[in-house]
Amino acid sequence: MTAPPQTNEARVVRVALRERGYDIVIGRNLVATLGSRVKALRPGTKCAIVTDDMVAVHHLEAVEASLAAAGIATAHVIVPAGESSKNYAVFQDVCERIIAARIERGDLVVALGGGVIGDLAGFVAACVRRGVDYVQVPTTLLAQVDSSVGGKTGIDSPQGKNLIGAFHQPVLVVADTALLDTLPERQFRAGYAEVVKYGLLGDAALFAWLERNWREVFGGGAAREYAIAACCRAKADIVVRDERETGERALLNLGHTFGHALEAATGFSDRLVHGEAVSLGMVMAFEFSARRGLISADEVARVRAHLAAVGLPVRVTEVPGGAPRLDEVMDLIAQDKKVRRGKLIFILVRGIGRAYVATDVEAGEVRAFLAEQLS
């Protein structure tokens, strides 16, 4: 598997949800085309841009200029950067400010930012005036390969991550890879964990390609765009088959049951950002699978070695401030969105690229495993 040479043509991945289908457009310097794309999609629309205070410094002016050049009136709402903005108070404030800006049901919300902004703005769009359409302009690697696609929106509860939300598909995703040039290295690394996830859950060839080419993905250019498009195609295919996560789409949560619990236990703070938690969670999912005799220790070691090579955490004891308490992590896992009638559901593996939904996991088995991991 090799990446094609760099071209000036944008890659387009279609999310084929019939009348609610939309394009993911991937390439460099696409913000300049945002206005013309929105105008073609929704003639006469107004836009409310939701972003955070860090992204606004780098990209808000260019987005507003692109929309203005197409004759599109805009308002903007800026929230504090970070996971802490995915809460009830910020959600309410953004809703009220969008209503005050006279955004109507025929207008658009533009989510300009990473996964936090995409989740928050998408949920706002799902709720204001009982639903307005929205456009995703993801500015992080994590958002470009994962959270901007598929229509999952929401905010966090003190009892867990993403427990309040709605399925609300965007009408367009514009993934401008040039926006990643301003991304801090830690955030890019964290996003790369979601890239690896797609190889581990269903594409062993992609994982092997990443083992050989991850430096080029980090460096930019054709390899980066190839990896982003590969992930978007994989997610689009799964979303089309299982939009509301009643079955197969749960595979996209590989590493997230453990990871989300660790994120919540560390206070949704800079101690552990989302992609780092996913890295830990994927290693734990592989180790748990090996403990059950599903895979070999060599496969676990291979996954751990790759994630460690790019600088991602692979052991819970690496979390700054120390590992969280066992009881707290177990309580958080019990609140995971995939729990059905109190039954724990995990995404485990029968090999690299062979994830499956496990419905036979007992709480005592998880507790014994976590006791080892957290010690």
Catalytic residue numbers, as ranges: 130, 152, 194, 235, 245, 249, 253, 256, 260, 274
Could you give the 3-state DSSP secondary structure of residue 347? Answer: strand
CA 71 vs. chain centroid, Å, equals 31
What is each CA distance from 104 to 48, 100, 107, 263, in whole angstroms? 10, 10, 5, 36
Residue 46 structure tokens = 């107004």
Beta-sheet pairing, 133-138 with 172-176: parallel
User: 321 exposed, middle or buried (CB, 10 Å; 0-12, 13-18, 19+)?
Assistant: exposed
Closest among 183, 198, 176 to 278, alpha carbons compared: 198
Query: Which among 142, 151, 90 has a CA at the least distance from the CA of 122?
Result: 151
Per-residue H/E/C for 148-183: CCCCEEEEEECCEEEEEEEECCCCEEEEEHHHHHHC
What span, in angstroms and rounded, lies between the C-alpha atoms of 234 and 199?
A: 9
